[in-house]
């Protein structure tokens, strides 16, 4: 059942429809030819950002409740307020720390990116140029590049 679409598709590229969409078109008695395909199971990447404000300590229980409810693939925490060595030893069940920025001279601040244990992707931490290095109070940032064929 392959047909070209008329004016609705000037490039004459195939249109993929699910069985439900095809049934609707048939009920509307349309005569355009279509490419039918089974619906592809798409993966929805969930990203959860939380501004912890004034530090992560004492808020882990509430965070775990939300993580269990939302089950994000990527967790981003800003204002975690931890030093590098403390952040490395902070366990967020089901997640691995993959990139972060921690303050060294002032309190609070910082940002951390965690990936779910179950996420199977290639990632790379993005390095900033010398001109734009993360700096306390001015440019507190971290970044990752996710490689996928989704």
* Domains of the chain listed by start with CATH number: 1-41 (no CATH), 47-147 (3.60.10.10)
pLDDT of residue 67: 96
pLDDT of residue 76: 95
pLDDT of residue 126: 80
Q: How far is CA 117 from CA 99, 105, 124, in A?
A: 15, 32, 16
Q: How far is CA 130 from CA 112, 127, 133, 135, 136, in A?
A: 21, 9, 5, 11, 15
pLDDT of residue 34: 44
Residues in the chain with pLDDT < 70? 1-41, 129-134, 137-139, 148-150
State the Cα torsion 65-70-74-80 to the nearest 10°. -30
């Amino acid at each position: 059942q392959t047909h070209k679409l008329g004016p609705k598709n000037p490039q004459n590229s195939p249109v993929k429809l699910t069985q439900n969409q095809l049934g609707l078109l048939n009920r509307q008695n349309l005569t355009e030819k279509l490419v039918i395909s089974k619906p592809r199971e798409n993966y929805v990447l969930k990203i959860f950002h939380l501004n912890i404000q004034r530090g992560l300590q004492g808020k882990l229980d509430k965070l775990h409740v939300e993580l269990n409810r939302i089950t994000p693939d990527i967790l981003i925490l800003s204002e975690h307020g931890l030093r590098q060595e403390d952040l490395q030893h902070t366990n967020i069940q089901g997640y691995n720390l993959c990139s972060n920025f921690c303050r060294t001279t002032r309190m609070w601040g910082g940002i951390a990116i965690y990936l779910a244990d179950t996420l199977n992707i290639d990632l790379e931490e993005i390095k900033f140029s010398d001109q734009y290095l993360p700096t306390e109070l001015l440019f507190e940032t971290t970044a990752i590049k996710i490689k996928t064929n989704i």
